[in-house]
Structure formats: C-alpha cells, structure tokens
Amino acid sequence: MSDGPVWQGEIRVRRATPAGADRLLRALLPEASREVPRARAVVDRPDPDTVRIRLTARDTGAARAAVNTYLGWISLAERTERAGRRPDPDPAPAP
C-alpha cells in the first residue's frame, strides 16, 4: 500500500450452506483480483459456510468506497440467488 496510515476492515458473510458460500466466493473472487489504486481486497473462506473479505485502503474515502462496493456485490449475489429460486411464472399458452 503506502508508508502512511492504512485503513483496514473485514466483512464476514455466513451462508446457509457451504455450497452457498462457495457460490458467493466464486462471484467475488474476480472483483478482488482487479487492480485498484487505493484499496486492496482479499477474499477467502475461513469456515465452510463463511466468506470473509479483508479490505485495506490508503485513506478513508477508498475504505468507504471498498466497503460499499463489496456490500453491493454481496447484496446483488443474494438477490440473484433468491430470484433463481422463484418458480417460473405460468408460461404463455401455445398458439
């Protein structure tokens, strides 16, 4: 990072099943591997049902942006899973 102050934070997300944690981890890993100038993220699984995101940032603005970004991606992943579990609406009648 830098020689100055460093901001650190951690987000832990517990999923109902290890498979759910695996899906979330796979969704977040490509984002964590991207180069970002003022922040860095490490994503791993400390437990079978938990995903951990460790954030390091050079300043408070970068820390806030990183936290908000990862919380947004987590929310999107959870909404996508819920939508995938909904039953399909009745199909249109065949002509």
- Confidence check: pLDDT of 3 > 80: no
Domain residues of the chain, as ranges?
A: 7-73
Burial 50-67 (b: 16+ CB within 10 A, else e): bbbbebbbbeeebbebbb
Instruction: Tell me: pLDDT of 76 over 90.
Output: yes
CA 63 – CA 71 distance, rounded (Å): 12
* C-alpha to C-alpha distance for 49 and 20, rounded to whole angstroms: 7
pLDDT digits (tens, 9 = 90+) for 21-59: 999 999 999 988 887 889 999 999 999 999 999 999 999
Q: What is the mean pLDDT of residues 57-63?
A: 94
Please give the model's pTM, rounded to 2 decimal places.
Answer: 0.81
- Top CATH class, 7-73: alpha beta
Instruction: Give the whole-angstrom CA distance, residue 64 versus residue 68.
Output: 6
| pLDDT confidence band for 82 (50 / 70 / 90) | confident
